[in-house]
Amino acid sequence: MDFQRILIYLPILIFSFMMHEIGHAYMADLRGDDTARRLGRITLNPIPHLDLFGSLIFPAMLLLMNSHFLFAWAKPVPFNPSKLKNPRRDIPLIAFAGPFVHILLIIASFIFLKLSLVFSQFTMGFTQSIIEFLYIMISVNMVLFIFNLLPIPPLDGSKIISYFLPQDMAAKYMSMNQYIGFIILMIFVSTGFFGYILNFFTRWTSLIFFTILGY
C-alpha cells in the first residue's frame, strides 16, 4: 500500500471505528447504562476512542506485513451490566450496534457513490477523487464489519454468539484468554483465510448494492 493511499485510508479508518464505538455507547445508553455517556464516549472527538495497540500498533504491523487490507479497533466502550434492563439480551444488542454502524456507513457510501455519478457534471474535476474516496470508505467498513463479527473473544461476534449458548457454556466461552483470540486472529490474517472470507462477502455485498442502486 503506497504512502498516498495510507493518507486516505487512515482518516477513514479512524472515523469508521470511532463511529463503531459511538454505536456501542449509544445503544448501551438506550438500554439503561449511561456509563459510556458519562465518560465522554458518545463523541466525534477521536482521542477518547483511540487504543494504543488496536488503533496504532496493529495497523502498523499490517503495513509492515504488506497486507492488502488495513483494519484496526478502538478502545472498548465500558458498560455496567447491572444497569442494563435485561443484561442477557442487551449485551448482544450493544455488541451488534458497532458492526451495524458499518452497514449504515456502507449504505450511505453507496448512495453518495450513485449521486456522484448521476450528478458528475456538478463535480467536474473531483468526480474521480470522490469515487475513490467512497470506494475506500466501503471497503474499510466492509473489513471492519466482517472482522468484528468473527466469533472470537473479545470481538463483537463472540458476544453475539454467547446469547445463543447455554449460560454456563457462554460464561466459559467469554472467559477465553484474549491473547488466544489474538493468536487466532493473526493466523487468520497471515494465512490469508480472513482475506478469503472478506473477498467472498465483499463480492456478494457489492453485487447486491450495485443491483439495488441500478449500476
**Residues 131, 145: Cα–Cα separation, whole Å:** 21
Query: Which candidate, 65, 66, 96, 78, places its Cα nearest to that of 29?
Result: 78
What phi, psi does 189 have (nearest 5°)? -70, -50
* Alpha-carbon gap, residue 143 to 11, rounded angstroms: 15
**CA trace torsion 125, 103, 12, 42 (10° rounding):** 130
- Cα distance between residue 80 and residue 84, in whole Å: 7
Per the structure block, which three cell numbers stand in for 162?
Answer: 454467547
Listed residue (47, 23, 49) closest to 104, CA to CA: 23
- Quick check: is 132 catalytic? no
> Which one from 17, 18, 19, 21 is the annotated catalytic residue?
21
Residue the block writes with cell 466492509: 142
Catalytic residues, which ones?
21
